[in-house]
Structure 1
Amino acid sequence: MRILHTSDWHIGRSFHGHATLDALRGVLDALVARVREHEVDVVIVAGDVFDSAAPAAACYSLLTDTLRSLADAGAAVVVTSGNHDSAARLGFQSSLLRDGIHVVTDPLTIGTPITLADEHGPVHVYGIPFLEPALVRHLWPDAELRSQHHTLAHAMDLIRADIAARGGRSVTIAHCFAAGVDATPGVEREIRQGSLDVVPLAVFDGPDYVALGHIHGRQRLSDAVRYAGAPLHYSFGEADKPRGSWLVELDAAGLASVEWLDLPIPRRLVTIRGALDDLLSDASHAGAVDAWVCAQYTDATPQPEPMRRLQARFPHCATVMHTPEGVRGDDGLTYARRVRAARSDAELVDAFLAHVREGEGASEREAEIIRDVIDERTLTEALA
């Protein structure tokens, strides 16, 4: 049996204020093409199908179109809910879906598999929707469910018990933060508090393959436990991470092979850094003209209209950051102490500039302008 493992579609998420729906549609069309090309039997979507609990109507249309296309390509589809999804909204029409499309959002179905078959016999697919301990604790009052670790461990105990009773090959789907992953700072909206919600890898022992979601980068925790990551780049922190899915092959004995299949990147992400004038003119940045750009300009002082000026050269400049270089270190003085130490109006202005610039006072040219303004004001007051 051939299984395609994907996750974290985040339908409806924006990228620095830019809609991503059209780009995602193109990537998901490419994923459907991979399903046809490799004659995939089952597609797994491991949570975070939508980006919000209340997606717009166009998001539902994209999901419906993609699920229909996957089914038309000959694959069964198993979708589970993630921490971004509303289980109720994602699962409300599950009973109306065509045969072969399964949406798992009900915690009480954990331990009851979706059973598929190939020439070697049955394959039991166990979907675990995202489990918030506080919201599911009442379902299993005899279990200690104080954290993601406890809750996923309980879910896996239910699954292992069913596997032992049924026999055969098995696959599990979960959406969580597993121990050993390399998360992208500021990207995965954390579902952990301290270390309580990190799920140890040993929790997932038992199934032939475990398809995980939540982390946006491809990661292999073991041969049988992997993250596929998101199909689009949703942050500049993800720029160096490939986009794609895992092609998992099960033979009669269980896991036979796992292969990575790349997906196209609609627009690559580039971070450029330097003085603003250099960013606007240096030929070395010419390759970024068609990319999403994060511009970090290093001038000592903020420059006027940096976004407008940068977008004249880089039409897809998405964010601008002022990250000055060569700024003097913090001298430990508070703003009040700087003000009290000033002996003239010019020194008072310089103290303000030093405070807001993290130690960098007025330049020679700025000091000259400050003196001229103060002298003009003094003369005006004297003549009044």
Structure 2
Amino acid sequence: MRILHTSDWHIGRTFHGHSTLDALRGVLMSLVAEVSAREVDVVIVAGDVFDSAMPAADCYTLLTDTLVAIRDAGARVILTSGNHDSAARLGFQSRLLSDGITVVTDPASIGTPVTIDDESGPVHFYGIPYLEPALVRHLWDGVPVRTQRDALTHAMSLVRDDARARGGRTVAIAHCFAAGVDPTPHLECDIQQGGLDVVPLAVFDDVDYAALGHIHGRQRLSEHVRYAGAPLHYSFGEGSKPRGGWIIDMDATGVASIESFDLPIPRRLVTLTGTLDELLDPARFEDATDAWVFARYTDVAPQSDPMRRLQTRFAHCAKVVHAPDVIHDDGETSYASRLRATRSDLEVIDAFLTHVRNGVGASDAEREILREVVREREASDALV
């Protein structure tokens, strides 16, 4: 059996105010092409299918089109809900979906697998929807559930009990922040990623493969526990990481091989650093013209309207920050003490500008404007 592991589609997410729907559609159609070319039998989507609990109508359209395309390519599909999804909205149409598409959103179903047979027998897929401790603890009488660790530990115990009774090969699907550490008791929430506290890697022992979602970079936590990552770059911090997932081949005894696959990147992400004039120089950074750009301009003082100016150079400039190379050191002289040393309104304004602009006071042109404003104010006060 050949399995494709993907996750974190985040349908409907914006990128610095820009819609990602068209780009994601193209990438997901490339994923469908992988399913067809590699003759994949089962596609796993490990949570965060949507980006919000209330996705727009066109988000449902993209999801439906993608699921139907995967099914037409010959693969079964198993989806679970993540912390961004509304389990109710993601799962409401699950009973109406065509044969071969299963949506797992009900915590009460944990321990009941989707079983798919191949020539070597059954493979049991145990979907674990995102478990919010406060919302699931009432399901398990006598089981203390305060953290993600508690919830996943108990969920996996249900999986193991059922798997032992059934026999065969097993795949667990979960959406959580897993790590190869055992956190300090009662301090689990001190280690978090995306608002989820850590789940020890050992929780996923005793299954042939654990397909995880939540981390956006493809990662191997152990030979049998992996994150697929997101199909798109959703932040500049992800820009250096490839997009794709894992292909898992199973034989009669379990996992025979695992290999990564890459997905196309519709528009690459770059971070550019320099003075504003350097960034605007048409002879520089030519390879970033069509990229998403995060600009860090290093001028000592903040510049006027940097985003608009940079977008005339880079049409897809999405983020701009002022990151001066030199930080002004006031030494032991405080802003208050400098104010006390001023002798005129003009000096007060100059002291303020020096304070908020990294040690850079008013320019000659600015001082001339300020003098005129101060004179007008003084003349107006004299008439009162």
TM-score by length of 2: 0.92
Q: Which residue is 2:361 aligned to?
A: 362
Alpha carbons 2:91, 2:103 under 8 Å: kept: yes
Match of 1:152 in 2: 152
Task: Tell me the residue number matched to 1:244.
Answer: 244
**How far is the alpha carbon of 1:381 from its aligned partner?**
7.2
Counterpart in 2 of 1:295? 295
Q: Distance in 2 between matches of 1:378 and 1:41?
A: 78
Per-residue CA deviation, residues 143-173 of structure 1 (Å, 9 max, x unaligned), is 0101000110000000011111111100000
Change (3 A) 1:37 1:330: farther
After TM superposition, list the pairs within 5 Å mapping 1:204-219 onto structure 2.
204-219=204-219
Does the CA-based 8 Å contact 2:248-2:259 persist in structure 1? yes
SS at match of 1:160: helix
Aligned pairs for 1:10-159 (under 5 A) are: 10-159=10-159
Q: How many correspondences in the alignment?
A: 373
CA distance in 2, matches of 1:251, 1:98: 28
Q: Matched residues in 1 for 2:334 and 2:127: separation?
A: 56
State the Cα distance separating 1:54 from its structure 2 match.
Answer: 0.4
CA deviation vs aligned residue, 1:26-61 (integer Å, no higher than 9, x gap): 000000000000000000000000000000000000
Q: How far, CA to CA, are the matches of 1:379 and 1:201 in structure 2?
A: 71
User: What displacement does 1:179 show?
Assistant: 1.4
SS at match of 1:279: helix
In structure 2, do the counterparts of structure 1 residues 68 and 348 end up closer, same or farther at CA, with 3 Å as the change threshold?
Answer: same
Q: Residue 351 of structure 1: CA displacement?
A: 1.8
Change (3 A) 1:326 1:57: same
- Cα distance change on mapping 1:81 and 1:223 into 2, 3 Å: same
Taking the aligned partners of 2:168 and 2:334, their CA distance within structure 1 comes to: 69
Q: Measure how far apart 1:331 and its partner are.
A: 3.8
SS of corresponding position for 2:89:
helix
- Give the corresponding residue for 1:7: 7
Contact 2:180 2:202 in 1 (8 A): no
Q: 1:374 to 1:95 in 2, by over 3 A?
A: closer
Following superposition, the deviation at residue 118 of structure 1 comes to 0.7
SS in 2 for 1:172: strand
Unaligned runs of 5+ in 1: 182-187
**Which shifted more, 18-27 or 362-371?**
362-371
Equivalent residue number for residue 185 of structure 1: none
Moved more, 282-291 or 231-240: 282-291
Q: d(CA) in 1 for partners of 2:382 and 2:364?
A: 27
Which ranges in structure 2 are unaligned for 5 or more consecutive residues? Answer: 182-191
For the residue of structure 1 that corresponds to 2:277, the secondary structure is helix
Change (3 A) 1:15 1:367: closer
Amino acid at match of 1:362: G
Cα displacement string for residues 207-250 of structure 1 (whole angstroms, at most 9, x for unaligned residues)? 10000000101111001000010000011111001000100111
Amino acid at match of 1:319: K
Residue identity matched to 1:300? V
1:301 is displaced (CA, Å) by 1.8
Partners of 1:279 and 1:52 in 2: CA distance: 35
The code of the aligned residue for 1:262 comes to D
Give the 3-state SS of the residue equivalent to 2:52 in structure 1. Answer: coil
Indicate the larger mover: 368-377 or 273-282.
368-377
Amino acid at match of 1:105: T
Give the ranges of 4+ consecutive aligned residues of structure 1 lying more than 3 Å apart after TM superposition.
330-338, 363-384
Q: Which residue of 1 aligns with 2:189?
A: none
* Equivalent-residue separation in structure 2 for 1:223 and 1:173 (angstroms): 15
TM-score, structure 1 normalization:
0.92
Identity %: 65
What amino acid maps onto 1:63 in structure 2? L
- State the alpha-carbon separation in 2 of the partners of residues 148 and 334 from structure 1: 47
Cα distance between partner residues in 1 of 2:282 and 2:104: 52
